[in-house]
Amino acid sequence: MPRVNHQKRSAIMGKSDVQIEDCSGLTAREKPLFSGSRRAMAPGAEGVVFNIQRFSLHDGAGIRTLVFLKGCPLRCLWCANPEGQSGATEIRYDKNGCIGCGACIDSCPEGAVSQEPATGFTISKASCRACGACVRACPSGAKSEWGETRDADEIVDIVKRDSLFYRHSGGGVTIGGGEVLFQPAFACEVLRKCRELGLNTAIETSGYGDWPWLERIAEYCDTIFYDLKIVDRHEHRRITGVDNETILDNLRALDEMLVSRGTDRPLHLIVRVPVIPEVNADTENMAAIGTFIRSELHNTSTVELMPFHNLCEQKYEQLGRPYLLKGRAGLMPEKVEPLKKTLTDMGLNCTIMSW
Ligand code: SF4
Ligand code: SF4
């Protein structure tokens, strides 16, 4: 379990109450994974992936295959992919699919599964070693694994199955997560191989990672979707668990890279802003983001606003983790129009994305 302590339940009602104690956002088990990924620029033949979504119309042009990598050093309150936060494989329990046979209790060598009146056949995070025995024993599929180790070639084989669709739609592959920079060597290898095949490539990143890796990854990208959540450093730490200094520095560096990349195969940098009620969904924060882009980035003017949605509640339940924004209504795109206007009035090219 992530050690981030989003301490007060009332955090969901007012931004001044949101508190995150562990600034690193990583558990003791995850820290070596992250630092390990930063150590060497070695080829990354294998990585941990939690989802591959074909025929997507999101996250880039045309029809795309989305590859979701596991592991992220941030712990955003609104995270829509909590199964991507931990770098390790996790066991998911779908109470609705459970037939109550008890096989998972009997199969667990750690005694980590117990039957609880409210939550069903629940896994103790402290005891679970993610060995997968309960998953194999479960006859209904109610217990399953989130995250598996895959070879870069395997991923590329899956991606290239839809080459025909990419060709006709201008699509390709997008790697997200989790955080691409959590497994940079693996991401780099997949992107490099896809580029060799002439496929359009994109990543979606928080920008929180080492610049040498991001620079190298960017060399194999056609498009980078770069999250910019909030400019204020303290607020950023409070709502994500980490400082944004590295994120802003990397964004500046990427912006400069756009020029050196030339026009043969240009790099497109798109700033993405998740719009979260009572966190950053106000004109003041949007103006600060607009000012940063206008004053500090010289080659970037495209912004996508990503209105908050609440489609991920079930995932938190299945992971046995609390979701502090539970029950919050999603933001309808029309509510975001004034924020879009704030940015367009500053000369930025701004689009509101649908859920
Ligand atoms: S993954 Fe292994 S250790 Fe974890 S609950 Fe299942 S059987 Fe037990
Ligand atoms: S093995 Fe599967 S179906 Fe049986 S109790 Fe456990 S989760 Fe439910």
Q: How many angstroms separate the most distant Cα atoms in the chain?
A: 62
Residue 92 contacts residue 70 (beta carbons within 8 Å): no
Closest by Cα among 314, 312, 311, 305 to 333: 305
Q: Which has the minimum average pLDDT: 15-24, 26-35, 179-188, 210-219?
A: 15-24
The per-residue pLDDT for 115 is 96
Residue 26 has pLDDT above 70, yes or no: no
Q: How does pLDDT run across 235-293, given as a tens digit for each residue?
A: 999 999 999 999 999 999 999 999 888 778 899 999 999 999 989 999 999 999 999 99
Go through the domains of the chain in sequence order and give each one's CATH number.
9-88+147-352 (3.20.20.70), 90-146 (3.30.70.20)
**315 C-alpha to center of ligand 1: Å?**
18
Q: What percent of the chain has pLDDT over 70?
A: 88
Average pLDDT, the chain: 88
Q: How does pLDDT run across 311-326, given as a tens digit for each residue?
A: 899 999 999 998 989 9
Give nearest CA residue, ligand 2 atom 2.
138
Closest ligand to Cα 145: 1
Residue 15 has pLDDT above 70, yes or no: no
Positive or negative torsion for Cα 143, 146, 147, 153? positive
Q: How sure is the predictor about 40, in pLDDT bands with cuts at 50, 70 and 90?
A: very low
Q: How sure is the predictor about 27, in pLDDT bands with cuts at 50, 70 and 90?
A: low
The residues that bridge with 269 in the sheet, in sequence order, are: 224
Q: Which atom of ligand 1 is nearest to the CA of 131?
A: 2
**106 C-alpha to center of ligand 1: Å?**
10
The residues that bridge with 52 in the sheet, in sequence order, are: 67
User: Does the CB atom of residue 113 touch ligand 1 within 6 A?
Assistant: yes
Distance CA 34, CA 182 (A): 6
Q: How sure is the predictor about 334, in pLDDT bands with cuts at 50, 70 and 90?
A: confident
Q: How does pLDDT run across 270-280, given as a tens digit for each residue?
A: 999 999 998 99
Closest ligand to Cα 112: 1
Q: How does pLDDT run across 155-177, given as a tens digit for each residue?
A: 999 999 999 999 999 999 999 99
pTM of the model: 0.87
The per-residue pLDDT for 9 is 27
Average pLDDT over residues 333-354: 95
The per-residue pLDDT for 31 is 53
Q: Which atom of ligand 1 is nearest to the CA of 132?
A: 1
Coil vs helix vs strand at 277: coil
The per-residue pLDDT for 178 is 94
**Beta strand segments in the chain, E:** 46-56, 64-69, 90-93, 113-116, 120-123, 143-146, 148-151, 172-177, 200-205, 223-227, 268-275, 302-307, 349-352
Average pLDDT over residues 42-68: 91
Give nearest CA residue, ligand 1 atom 3.
128
Mutation probe of ligand 1 site: the residue of 128, 138, 144, 145 with most atoms within 8 A of C-beta:
128
Sequence-separated (6 or more) residues with CB below 8 Å from residue 322 = 6, 316
Give nearest CA residue, ligand 1 atom 2.
131
Beta strands 349-352; 302-307: pairing state: parallel
Instruction: Name the residue with higher pLDDT: 25 or 93.
Output: 93
Residue 22 has pLDDT above 80, yes or no: no
Beta strands 46-56; 64-69: pairing state: antiparallel
Q: How does pLDDT run across 88-113, given as a tens digit for each residue?
A: 899 999 999 999 999 999 999 999 99
Residue 63 contacts residue 169 (beta carbons within 8 Å): yes
Residue 280 contacts residue 231 (beta carbons within 8 Å): no
Residue 186 has pLDDT above 80, yes or no: yes
Residue 41 has pLDDT above 90, yes or no: no
- The tokens for 277 are 């009620």
For tokens 């940015």, the residue is 343
**316 C-alpha to center of ligand 2: Å?**
19
**49 C-alpha to center of ligand 2: Å?**
24
Which long-range contacts does 49-55 make (Cβ < 8 Å, 24+ apart)?
49/147, 49/148, 49/149, 49/150, 49/155, 50/83, 50/84, 50/146, 50/147, 50/148, 50/178, 51/83, 52/155, 52/158, 54/158, 54/161, 54/162, 55/162, 55/165
End-to-end, the C-alpha distance of the chain in Å comes to 27
Buried b (16+ CB within 10 A) or exposed e, 297-313: beebbebebbbbbbebe
Closest by Cα among 66, 57, 62, 61 to 173: 66
**111 C-alpha to center of ligand 2: Å?**
14
Mutation probe of ligand 1 site: the residue of 129, 136, 138 with most atoms within 8 A of C-beta:
129
Mutation probe of ligand 1 site: the residue of 90, 91, 107 with most atoms within 8 A of C-beta:
91
Distance CA 48, CA 58 (A): 22
- Residue 182 carries which DSSP code? G
User: What is the C-alpha radius of gyration for the chain, rounded to an integer number of angstroms?
Assistant: 20
Sequence-separated (6 or more) residues with CB below 8 Å from residue 127 = 110, 111, 112
Residue 12 has pLDDT above 60, yes or no: no
